[in-house]
A and B are shown apart, each in its own frame.
Chain A
Amino acid sequence: QQNKEVDESEEEDEIFRRKRLTRKKNRRIKNSGKKSESDKAPSGKRERHRKAATKDQKEAENKEKQTNKKKKGNGESSSSPSASNSSDEESLSEEELERLKEQVEEKKKLISTMRNKPWRMAKKLTVLREAQAFVEKFEGALGKGKGKKFYAYKVMMAKKWVKFKRDFDNFKTQCIPWEMKIKEVESHFGSSVASYFIFLRWMYGVNLVLFGLIFGLVIIPEVLMGMPYGSMPRKTVPRAEQATAMDFSVLWDFEGYIKYSALFYGYYNNQRTIGWLKYRLPMAYFMVGISVFGYSLVVVIRTMARNANESTGDGDDNDFIFSWKMFTSWDYLIGNPETADNKFASITTSFKESIVDEQESNKDENIHLRRFLRVLANVLIICCLCGSGYLIYFVVKRSQTFSKMQNIGWYERNEVEIVMSLLGMFCPPLFETIAALENYHPRIGLKWQLGRIFALFLGNLYTFLLALMDDVNEKLTEEDVIKNITHWTLLNYYNSSAVKNSTFSPPPIDPADVPRGPCWETTVGIEFVRLTVSDILVTYVTILVGDFLRACFVRFMNYCWCWDLEAGFPSYAEFDISGNVLGLIFNQGMIWMGSFYAPGLVGINVLRLLTSMYFQCWAVMSSNVPHERVFKASKSNNFYMGLLLLILFLSLLPVAYTIMSLPPSFDCGPFSGKKRMSDVIQETIELDFPAFVAKIFSYVANPGLIIPAILLMVLAIYYLNAVAEAYQHANAELKKKMQMQREEEKNKRNNKATTNLATQDLEDFLTPSAKSGGQSQPTADTKSDSTNKNSPGAKEESKAKNSNATCPGRGVTMAPPPHVTITQPPRQSVKASSPGRASSGTSPQGLHPGTRKGQPCN
């Protein structure tokens, strides 16, 4: 949105880009980084690659490098787009030319005097090489005619390229889907709520890929090249169901025509190849089913790794959080009132977030009580979990006995579901209440809450899978019976027809009339699809009723109600992060499990995620209020990812089990007629590959080879883990050392009472290279600051100095809490400061209007 404004007029753009002073310092650092490199100790990673340039190097070299950089128009200069862009694009101006000429001359001089320089040989060589390259490159530019034109053209292209890259970056940002929506939510509700939406968006991306995989490689080939509907029994609605197959109530249950469509496993034929492409559909089906899991695993793990990298990446410049927030949070490019409102909201939210963080870190309380309460809370919650686990177990057992009985009531039939949803309804609030005992930082509290509800939901999953397994077993026995019957029929037919003609032609029965097995795979698929759809509906209805209607009620009935609805009992709903995240995760687990049996499931899920993005964004903005304690989400939402990984693993197990050890149905699905689904691989290898591949494969599949391989992997993991730990340890040590150094420096400075701080600062500022060690310290963090100020030794010393000093009107300035238990040694700055504090009435504030710090005492 800002970008739109910027484009309004080019000139405005020009001016106001510069106005972004505070904001832009961020970028400018790259500019000034170069400067600082020449006079400061190389600091930070940004200059890692240029560290080689030592401080005492001739400035000529610096200059040359910079120009080089700029002329090349590489990444460095793109970081300061306005720099190269603001200067006109027509061509290089006179002065630029002049400067260049000067530089080339300088270079030449440098080359000729290289011998006399007191440098090491290696350095001489590099400098010489660089200088020569520079001269070679730019001498042509200064000449007449072709060289100059070429050079001008090059410069122009570089500038154009930079501009293009900037525009492209803007474009890229605009292309991130829902970025604006999420930012808007974030600005009003804080990063924790936004983290849910970011997670949702990520999930949408993953599902889109899965969708493409399944649709592109399985469903579309089947629809285009497979046998058409009605050509064989598995692709036809049975005669008994045909009358109602198009009814909505039937379709809604995913029976009828939907059941016999490419959306479900049973529709696929076991023909080895289909169509003129000889597309191996069963093989493709199997491989896609596997690669859905493979891709998901890889993506989840890669994202986790990247997040982990990011979160450890910038731990070191946390010293001035508040200062930076205070001075640099406004975006000076905002020209639209609406955006400005958002920005106000986001600044407020970010301040609130840091207040919460701050309170949390400063909390000092009875540690024993806290510990006791936390243990108590955990015990309570474990009791709850065990109780509900047992309850689920008990109910499932009971339902198994019920299922054998005849004429049971509605309650008995639905007992498991009722108990599950009651647990799901009451346990999370109960956990939340108990968690209040623990008094964690809300961010950590959220994690605990997520983990606990996750454990509860696992029970849910368990019952669901158990019921499904029962179902499948039942279907398998039923299938055996039917298989015998069909065999019998076919046998009879062949016996009777074999007399007439010896060719095996299929019996002339209409495909709708052929007796067929129950096809447990399709049943499972339908179960998953139903579950997903009902989950979607429940979620949406909950949002609509629980959030929107409640908000409407509170908002409009407030005018005629006896108490204040908005502040009092119902009030507005808060966004339930943990519930939503877990809902998303479990839903994804269902998708992973179900997509093998119902290829169309992923399509439904993509639609669901898409609508819920818009719907939930709207619901949040329209009917929720921000949390009481807005807290900052951790930068990496690796916790969500971890849960997702767990669910992925759990959902992989049943699918793998069915693939490896259950016999597929004999008359439906791409693997019908095989003993196991995985046989399709063997078949392909045997029939389509040369013999030696099959041999290799059989060797590789040998357990004698697999077990050592697994062992090797375990060892490698162990080793890498140990190495990573060692690195971490070293890192922590180094950090500690740096901290110590800072403190030491600070101490020294505080004790050097006679030195004038101002001049010292000035020195630091101008020639920091002189003390490279000192330069790493300036961001002395406040903690060490206050501690060493309060350390008795320093205090006494400075007090002694104070008493010695005989400055007139030295007021003992007492300032708000922690830091100013001390008067700074004899510097006048102390009293001349802070007009807000009238503590030192006689302070010579007015006497020295021009002199600030920097006036020695005498």
Chain B
Amino acid sequence: MGSRASTLLRDEEIEEIKKETGFSHSQITRLYSRFTSLDKGENGTLSREDFQRIPELAINPLGDRIINAFFPEGEDQVNFRGFMRTLAHFRPIEDNEKSKDQNGPEPLNSRSNKLHFAFRLYDLDKDDKISRDELLQVLRMMVGVNISDEQLGSIADRTIQEADQDGDSAISFAEFVKAFQYL
């Protein structure tokens, strides 16, 4: 089972990661080899530049924010554990783990955690609200200069109006969840 990269990864480490993130053994080793191939400095950590080398992230308008999501507050290196912890958000929910461990801590890849991850991409100042200004920034990144500021403003207003339920003209996490309930 994918023994090429596991030489560098100790079994107990894998066990821990498995417990924390829910990835399977072979997934972890595969991701580890991917991790090492991204790691150009070969010091066991990834820097922002390493991430920016991934073409999908480089052209993504939100790429920087996704990259930021990998790094804990104030640091600019991430090790494999941290890497895996972030990636765990992307792990699909498997059919058979849904009803299990209701009482245990919520797994990283639960629906609400996933939504929260997405929410944080938009919530720049971390006040748990997506404000109009934050929306405008995202819009600007997505459409460039093709649409006038005024129109972008109206789009942002409209978006907030749609999702906002308590009338504070910002989108809270609960409202965010609501908007994506059927998605």
A residues with CB within 8 A of B = 5, 11-12, 14-16, 18-22, 25-26, 28-29, 31-32, 34-35, 38, 43-44, 59, 62-63, 66-67, 69-70, 77, 80, 82-83, 86-88, 90, 93, 95, 99, 103, 317, 319-330, 332-337, 340, 344, 347-348, 351-352, 354-355, 358, 757-758, 761, 765, 778-780, 782, 785-786, 789, 813, 815-820, 822-824, 827, 829-830, 832-837, 845, 852-853
Contact = CB atoms under 8 A, between A and B. Distances in A.
A99 B129 CA distance: 40
Interface stretch (B6-14, B39-47, B95-103): B95-103
A507 to B, nearest CB: 79
A352 to B, nearest CB: 7
B165 to A, nearest CB: 7
B131 A67 contact: no
A320 B163 contact: yes
B118 A834 contact: no
A832 B125 CA distance: 13
Contacts of B111: 28, 32, 35
A815 B168 contact: yes
27 contacts: A11-B34, A15-B87, A66-B95, A82-B92, A86-B92, A88-B2, A88-B26, A319-B162, A320-B162, A320-B163, A322-B162, A323-B179, A324-B179, A324-B183, A326-B155, A327-B118, A328-B183, A332-B56, A334-B59, A757-B166, A765-B112, A765-B174, A782-B162, A820-B167, A824-B168, A833-B169, A853-B166
B133 A824 contact: no
A274 to B, nearest CB: 63
A816 B162 contact: no
A788 to B, nearest CB: 12
Interface string B135-167: 100110011101100010011011101111111
Contacts of A348: 142-144, 146-147
Contacts of B55: 5, 335-336
A90 B25 CA distance: 12
A506 B176 CA distance: 90
A21 B92 contact: no
Given A18-B92, A69-B95, 13 more contacts: A21-B117, A35-B98, A63-B98, A66-B96, A88-B24, A322-B158, A348-B147, A355-B155, A758-B174, A785-B161, A824-B166, A836-B132, A852-B172
Contacts of B90: 15, 18-21
Contact of A329 (B33, B142, B164): B142
A125 B152 CA distance: 58
Contacts of B59: 334-337, 340
Contacts of A329: 142
Contact of A779 (B96, B135, B168, B182): B182
A5 to B, nearest CB: 8
Contact of A32 (B27, B93, B154, B169): B93
A15 B90 CA distance: 8
Given A326-B155, A334-B59, A25 B183 contact: yes
Nearest to A64: B96
A109 to B, nearest CB: 15
Given A18-B87, A28-B93, A62-B99, A816 B118 contact: no
Nearest to A322: B159
Interface in B59-78: 59-62, 66
A734 to B, nearest CB: 18
B85 interface: no
Contacts of B25: 88, 93
A815 B56 CA distance: 38
A389 B179 CA distance: 55
A80 B174 CA distance: 26
B128 interface: yes
Given A322-B158, A327-B118, A818-B161, A31 B93 contact: yes
B114 interface: yes
Contact of A765 (B24, B30, B62, B177): B177
B66 A29 contact: no
A87 B122 contact: no
Contacts of A780: 165
Contact of A782 (B89, B129, B155, B161): B161
A816 B169 contact: yes
A77 B62 contact: no
B165 A785 contact: yes
B29 to A, nearest CB: 10
Nearest to B62: A330
A819 B167 contact: yes
A11 B30 contact: yes
B167 A355 contact: no
Nearest to B128: A852
Nearest to B181: A778
A787 to B, nearest CB: 12
Given A88-B26, A817-B157, A820-B169, A332 B181 contact: no
A73 B142 CA distance: 38
A827 B168 CA distance: 10
A77 to B, nearest CB: 7
Most central of B1, B87, B90 by chain A CB within 10 Å: B90
A86 B27 contact: yes
A358 B96 contact: no
A321 B158 CA distance: 9
A26 B168 CA distance: 28
Given A31-B93, A67-B96, A815-B168, A87 B154 contact: no
A319 B162 CA distance: 7
B96 A63 contact: yes
Contacts of A59: 99
A702 B87 CA distance: 76
A31 B92 contact: yes
Those 8 A-B pairs whose CB atoms lie nearest each other, nearest first: A18-B90, A815-B169, A66-B95, A88-B26, A59-B99, A335-B55, A836-B133, A833-B168
